[in-house]
């Protein structure tokens, strides 16, 4: 009998099928169980690897882009750009990203390591600043193409095809509630749609910063939760899929992310801390007794070592001496 070779042909085949694990030590007072889906286990350590590949593959299939010829240009808070840069390196695309200057230095370094060009924008201009700069670069770049993650249908579609089914299967078809931070809205829209088709009783909750709670009727504002709370309602987000949008402060997000490392052994990013904080709030509601909550942890913590989250540890590490 011929054995199937398990070696992957390239980095794109490593994307998806991330594991889920229960939270055990930071759930005091919770009456529901919380399982986290670890998108930090993607090849470039974030959930955005999924959409980076799906958007490139979709554009290739439609004949819109060609390896070795097309220049991919994308506005990003970092992780989508990193996913595009990784796949661009493997497939032969030059990649240029626009990114707010407030995003972590680790993002810039990783993007450069994959060969991408990085164009920083004034943080005061918010998401519109990176969108406008990307359009400007596109207009001045021969063979340039923008994948437009905030409106590209293949963004939520890949989560409908992969993330949602993975959660359904790995939870033994027992998931009751899905919780996901909202950046482009693709994850919560695609995975949420799939899960609600499987069981109409499943609740889908988004997460946004309290400082920029536009889905709850607030105004855009600055916050520390990189990757969510862009201050716009993206076209990729189907607000009709949401049963509720939970707000979390930057401080809550940072402190919960720290606790996940110290108590659960999970070194995750700030937006994962926000999602976990929201999940804990929902898990404490009496009506959710005995239910299973699945929360998406979008990225790994090492991309935030220079951020406020690790400031005290960084100072301690820098001042360590030898005997």
Report residue 76: phi and psi, to 5°. -155, 155
Longest dimension (CA), the chain: 63
Query: Would residue 48 show up in a list of annotated catalytic residues for this protein?
Result: yes
Pick the catalytic residue from 37, 48, 94, 258.
48
- For every residue of 271-304, which 3-state class applies, written as one string? HHHHHHHHHHHHHCCHHHCCCEEEEEECEEHHHH
* Euclidean distance between CA atoms 199 and 70, whole angstroms: 42
In 24-101, which ranges are continuous DSSP H helix?
A: 48-61, 79-91
Pick the catalytic residue from 45, 54, 271, 272.
271
Report residue 258: phi and psi, to 5°. -60, -45
Helix (H) or strand (E) holding 197: helix 186-198
Residue matched to tokens 């992780």: 79
* Euclidean distance between CA atoms 184 and 277, whole angstroms: 20
Report the catalytic residues: 48, 271
């Amino acid at each position: 009998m011929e054995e199937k070779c398990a070696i992957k042909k390239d980095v794109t085949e490593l994307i998806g099928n991330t594991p889920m694990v229960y939270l055990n030590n930071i759930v005091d007072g919770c009456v529901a169980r919380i399982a986290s889906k670890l998108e930090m286990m993607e090849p470039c350590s974030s959930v955005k690897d999924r959409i980076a590949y799906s958007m490139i593959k979709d554009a290739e299939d439609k004949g819109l882009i060609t390896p070795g010829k097309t220049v991919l240009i994308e506005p990003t808070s970092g992780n989508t750009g990193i996913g595009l840069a990784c796949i661009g390196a493997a497939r032969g695309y030059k990649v240029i990203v626009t990114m707010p200057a407030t995003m972590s230095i680790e993002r810039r370094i990783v993007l450069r390591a994959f060969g991408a060009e990085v164009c920083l924008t004034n943080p005061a201009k918010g998401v519109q600043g990176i969108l406008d700069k990307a359009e400007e670069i596109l207009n001045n770049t021969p063979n340039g193409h923008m994948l437009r993650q905030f409106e590209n249908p293949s963004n939520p579609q890949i989560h409908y095809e992969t993330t949602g089914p993975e959660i359904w299967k790995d939870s033994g078809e027992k998931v009751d509630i899905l919780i996901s931070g909202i950046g482009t809205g693709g994850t919560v829209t695609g995975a949420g749609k799939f899960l609600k088709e499987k069981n109409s009783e499943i609740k889908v909750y988004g997460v946004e910063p309290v400082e920029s709670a536009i889905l709850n009727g607030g105004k855009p504002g600055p916050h520390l939760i990189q990757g969510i709370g862009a201050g716009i309602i993206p076209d990729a987000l189907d607000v009709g899929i949401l049963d509720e949008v939970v707000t979390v402060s930057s401080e809550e997000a940072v402190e919960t992310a720290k606790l996940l490392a110290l108590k659960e052994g999970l070194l995750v990013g700030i937006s994962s801390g926000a999602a976990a904080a929201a999940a804990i709030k929902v898990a404490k509601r009496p009506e959710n007794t005995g239910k299973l909550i699945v929360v998406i942890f979008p990225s790994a913590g090492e991309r935030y070592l220079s951020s406020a989250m690790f400031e005290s540890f960084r100072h301690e590490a820098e001042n360590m001496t030898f005997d």
